[in-house]
Amino acid sequence: MEFVTVNEVGPRDGLQNQPALIDTAGKLQLIRVLVEAGVRHIEATSFVSPKAVPQMADAAELYAALPARGEVDYSVLVPNLKGYERARAAGAKAVAVVLSATETMNLRNINMTLAQARQVCRDVLGRARTDGVAARAYVAVAFACPYEGPTPAGHVVALADEMFAAGAAEVVVADTIGAASPAQVFDLFKILVSRCGAQRLSGHFHDTRALALANVWAALQAGIRKFDSSVGGLGGCPFAPGASGNLATEDLMLMLSQCGYETGIDVTRLRAAVKVAEGLVGRPLGGRMLPWLESQERRKRKEQV
């Protein structure tokens, strides 16, 4: 049975834009139940400016208290060298940078030009390589930008090449606003796989147009075996009108298991993580598969009576 790595981004990407502040204990509870479900790759937090993202102000405190440190690959997002230094001081052993593929997205999101953002990412990746820290680079809005429209595939390939040259061990191709089609995903990943190798690439899909799972399947056919997802579908891009959030981890797990892939994650135990996440954000969550799973469990209970 072929293995697919699932990188859980709910604790960072899923929580960072929530309007109500979530305390460190709540975040740790969510991470613990994810670990109990078998999740072994988690993007735990972000060392961004506390003024810019108050939700992540407890990054150092959270990182110090992470459970099962020897069993789980924890990564953290860093926006620049200052954030990288804070992450290193907290003990982080794996970091990620985010580079938006278009000029306007960088200007609107981080008030930098594309050239400036590329330099910041190169600086962090180079420093991480020198320090022996694992580093991955996201290429955001890789298929379409909310301001500039479709993103040319050749431009994404060039940025991926640049991030690898700067020191990234992995490049994550991100459909940040959920605009990609399976055909686009397959075509772009086939080019990247032929240049870089599938083991150095990952996919990050949003479900804005209900195509996240179809896009995962297209990436699988191109050879990709690592994907980001977020428990309960938490998160989503604030720049995407009507965005429904990230690909739900539980939906990804069900599809992978039914298609014969192994992940090491117990899809039924993810329900506990969804419940914890619901309590943290104060609203119902869950991927499309939860109603079906609950109906199956009700049927089993009736049969046991």
Enzyme catalytic residues: 237
CA 69, chain centre distance (Å) = 19
The helix/strand/coil state of 229 is strand
Q: How many CB atoms lie within 10 A of CB 235?
A: 22
Which residues, 6+ apart, have CB-to-CB distance to 24 below 8 Å? 58, 61, 62, 65
Most distant CA pair in the chain: distance in Å?
Answer: 65
Q: Are 205 and 142 spatial neighbours (Cβ–Cβ below 8 Å)?
A: no
The helix (run of H) or strand (run of E) holding residue 204 is strand 201-205
Give me 80's structure tokens: 């620049």
199, 198, 211: which is closest to 251 by C-alpha?
211
Contact 30, 250 (CB under 8 A): no
The helices-and-strands tally (H runs, E runs) of the chain is 11, 10
Are 233 and 253 spatial neighbours (Cβ–Cβ below 8 Å)? no
Report the C-alpha gap between 235 and 11 in whole angstroms: 10
Beta strand pairing status for 144-145 and 201-205?
unpaired
